[in-house]
Structure formats: structure tokens, C-alpha cells
Amino acid sequence: MKASYLGAMGYAQRYNFPTTWPIPPIYHDPETSVRSYQEGMEECEFAEEMGFEWVSFSEHHYSGRIATGTPAVMAAAVAERCKKAKIAMLGHLLTLNNPVRVAEELGLLDNLTNGRLVIGFLRGTPNEDQTYSVNPAEGRARLLEGMDLVIKALTEPQPFSWEGRYYQFRTVAVWPRPVQQPLPPMVVATRSDDMLQYAAEHKLGLAVSFVPVDQMAGVVKKYYAWCAEAGWQPTPDQIVYRGSIYLAETDKQAEAWLEGVKHAGPVPGGIAMRPTVSRAIQAARAGEEFDLRNILAGGVQGDVAGAARALNFMGGPDTVVKQIKAFHDQCGVGVVDLFFQQPRVSHREVMQEIELFGRAVLPHIKEF
């Protein structure tokens, strides 16, 4: 089993943020921000040094918690520091982006890293739909078409036109082509049946984020069945789990940290929106009617990110090894992608956790 470090590049003073999304840019201080990115890159470098085999990046917007709205830019910067680790784009929010531009970024990254790129496609949390005013009702169909277009753009050796439902490009000729032929490894981040089927039919890997182990096991079971139907079996590297982690020297220390966080007030890790907006997004995603008159406008509440706030791995090394092993044993996970930058954890503490993970956890999970 392999470990991946999520290069979240969180803003150092993120614990001062309100529990809302988006975070008003007024909270941004240039000096703190520059330092935060430097610290984030140090964490990636150190993770590689400690034995993490992947460093991952994820597109998120309008917030300093995961401050990589343009993940390819961040990946390119880190790739110059991390010379061995896979650079995993987990990934672009394809529904928001021009798929041809995404293909160009991926092609370039695979060249810059000399074939170390891993590609992930995902739709994003409901709030992300609002970033570029994409209709939430069209997100799934956009994602499906976008994946087809990215794959075609990365593999077709002649200029072509694309006559899609959501995208029409009369000249596509992506340059540079990927170093890894015919394609870099690809995973689809999803729990939805139609996307699982897409991944299985196209022989793509699977990534699941932040859900409990039994829930992931159910998702993986369906995915395996569809892969078998399509006549192939995923390798361990094609089953990726992304989880939040807090690692301490002992379980007792981890629990004490958690108690301290609880007593410090609301954990600023959610993605809360006005209920009217949140329900409108959810209704649009589900293809349902939404009547604003039935909902009173009010203060900010709700958390549209749901499971993303939960800590999936917490404790001392032995406990965390067992928790990760459960995902390996019950779900076939071969790569665990870890989000260390908890809301009230400083850069110094993250570095300590990475060191501890590399020393006391990684040697065990590599045996799985």
C-alpha cells in the first residue's frame, strides 16, 4: 500500500476564517499567503523524503483551506521540488473547466514530470458549481462528456473537431502529448453508479473521499462487479482513498487535541452556505423543482460538504495503521491520500505528523 500527501496549501491563519463559503478575500494577507505556500511546498518535499510515494493536488475555489484553485500551477511548482513522487491531480473539477485546457495542462504536467502524472476527474462539492456559474443540473452530464473529451484530446494524433452536447471545438490538437502512452494512469473520483460504470467501462481507477470504510466497501463492491463485467480487474494503485488525518504519538494525545479543538468553538472546516442557496443547488443537482417562496432567507447554516469535515484517521501510530488497514482489507485500497492540514493544526505540527507517519506508520502500511 502507498501513501499520498494531499498538498492542500492551506492559508496559515485559516482558523480565523468564518465557517462559510466563499471566504471573503478581505481575509487574505499577502505576506501570510506567500509564507503559507512556501510552508505547503516544504510539507510536500518532506512527505516525499519520509516515503510518501504520491503528492496530490485538488481543485477548490474561493477558500484558503485548500488554496489551490488552479491545481496544475501548484503541481508544476511542487514537481520541481519533488523529483520522485507521482504528481497526482486528484483533481480538476472537470465540470467547471474547458476540457481541452485541462488536457493541455495534463499533457504539460506529464512532460514536466517526465511521466509521473496521475490524473483524477471529479465533479466537486455542490458549492463548487457556483464558482463559474455552472448549472448544477448539468454537472454530471458535463463531467461525462468532459472526460471523453480529455481522453480524446490526449490520445488523438490528428487535429479534430468535437461536436458535443456541452462543448463544441472545431480544432483540437493538444500539445504536448503525454509522456506516458497511451495515457497516464487515470482515476474517477466518485460514488455515483453511473460514474462507477464509466470508470469500469473505460478501465479507469476509482477514488473515493472521506466516507467511512463500510460505505466505501459498498462503492468498491459495485465498481469491482462492473470491472469484471468489462473483463478486467483493477490493480491496487487504481483504488484510492482520500481521508483526513490527525496523527499523534499516542491515542491519548490525539484525543486531547480533539477535545481542545472542540472547546475552541465551532470548527472552521465546513462549507456552509445560506440555506436558500444550498437547497437551490441540491434541488438543481437532483433535477427537482425549487421554490424560493417556501424557504425563508436566513443566516448561514448547513454544510454542503458533509463527510469532508469528519476525521477519518485519528490516534497514535498503531491505531492509525489499523484504521488504514481496514480500508486496505475491506475495500482493496492501494493508495491512501491524506489530508493533514486540519483547521487548527499549524505548519510545525503538520511537519511533526509527517515525520511520525513516515517513521511509525508508513513502514507498516507498505507491508499491506
Least distance between other proteins and beta carbon 161 (Å): 4
Nearest CB to other proteins, comparing residues 163 and 289: 163
Q: Is the dihedral of CA 33, 34, 37, 39 positive or negative?
A: negative
Residue where the block lists cell 493536488: 57
CB-count exposure of residue 78 (10 Å: 0-12, 13-18, 19+): buried
Least distance between other proteins and beta carbon 153 (Å): 10
Nearest CB to other proteins, comparing residues 171 and 294: 171
Nearest CB to other proteins, comparing residues 163 and 291: 163
Nearest CB to other proteins, comparing residues 78 and 102: 102
Nearest CB to other proteins, comparing residues 146 and 234: 146
Nearest CB to other proteins, comparing residues 132 and 160: 160
Query: Which residue ranges make up the site for other proteins (CB under 8 A)?
Result: 145, 148-149, 152, 156-165, 167-168, 170-171
Specify the length of the chain in residues.
Answer: 368
Cα-based torsion angle of the residue sequence 8, 272, 268, 305 in order, rounded to the nearest 10 degrees: -40
Closest among 138, 126, 118, 134 to 71, alpha carbons compared: 118
Least distance between other proteins and beta carbon 355 (Å): 48
Least distance between other proteins and beta carbon 152 (Å): 6
Q: Could you tell me the three cell numbers for 350?
A: 503538520
Nearest CB to other proteins, comparing residues 144 and 239: 144
Least distance between other proteins and beta carbon 160 (Å): 5
Least distance between other proteins and beta carbon 270 (Å): 33
User: DSSP labels for 273-323?
Assistant: B-HHHHHHHHHHHTT----GGGS---S-B--TTGGGGS-SEEESHHHHHHH
Least distance between other proteins and beta carbon 305 (Å): 30
Using omega within 30 degrees of 0 as the cis cutoff, is the peptide bond preceding 176 cis?
Answer: yes
Least distance between other proteins and beta carbon 159 (Å): 7
CA distance 53 to 209: 18
Collapsing DSSP to helix, strand or coil, 115 comes out as coil
Q: Could you tell me the three cell numbers for 122?
A: 471529479
Q: How far is CA 37 from the centre of its chain?
A: 18
CA distance 180 to 193: 29
DSSP-assigned beta bridge partners for residue 336? 3, 241
Nearest CB to other proteins, comparing residues 161 and 294: 161
